[in-house]
Every structure is written in C-alpha cells, then in structure tokens.
Amino acid sequence: MSLSDVMSEELLPVTKRPTSDNKTGSWRTSTPEITDKCTGCGICASFCPDGCIAMVAASGKFPRKAQIDYDFCKGCLICVAECPVKAVIIKSKEKEK
C-alpha cells in the first residue's frame, strides 16, 4: 500500500472523550481531586491519557477550573504530577467488601 493509498482512506473520527465501554469500575485505589488552588491552566487536561479532565467555567479568581469525570478516571495520577500549582491532590479509596 502506498502513501497516497493511505492518505485517500477514510479515517474514523478521533474523539478525546472515552466511550462508555471504558468506565473504570471499582478497581481504582487512588482518586485525584481538584482543589480551590486550581488556576484553570489546563495542563492536567492536556496530560490526562483518558481524556477525563475537562475545563469548565468557574466563578471566583479564575474564569475556569478543571473537572474530573470519575466514570472514566483510572487513577493514574499523572494530573497530580503535572499540576504546576499542586492543585490536584490524592484521595485514597478504601476497597469495598
């Protein structure tokens, strides 16, 4: 297959939003939580491998804030590591019996 053949192929739409088939379930042991220190820079959303962090309108000092969709968050905590103002904290989740 040549490059021109590949370029002429119809591509499937790419979405950042996970599908409902990828919901996390109950195995996540740590949960990131956005605090009031969030400046709305969007770095956490850029690094989230599951696309489950959205920037939403906020009132107060900053016009937007990160919001996590916990249905899709896998608990990788990359957002915690990448936040430049340490506005994302780790909440431990006790395993359900």
- The topology (CATH level 3) of 39-90 is Alpha-Beta Plaits (3.30.70)
Question: What pLDDT does 67 receive?
Answer: 96
Question: What pLDDT does 50 receive?
Answer: 86
Arithmetic mean of pLDDT over the chain:
81
Q: Looking at the DSSP assignment, which residues form a beta bridge with residue 55? A: 66
Question: What pLDDT does 21 receive?
Answer: 63
pLDDT digit string, tens, across residues 47-75: 999 899 999 999 888 999 999 998 888 89
Q: Which amino acid is at 39?
A: T
Domain boundaries, the chain: 39-90
Torsion angle (degrees, nearest 10) of CA 96, 24, 42, 62: -40
Pairing verdict, β 30-34 and 88-92 = antiparallel
- pTM of structure: 0.70
- Strands in 1-97 per DSSP E: 30-34, 53-57, 64-68, 88-92
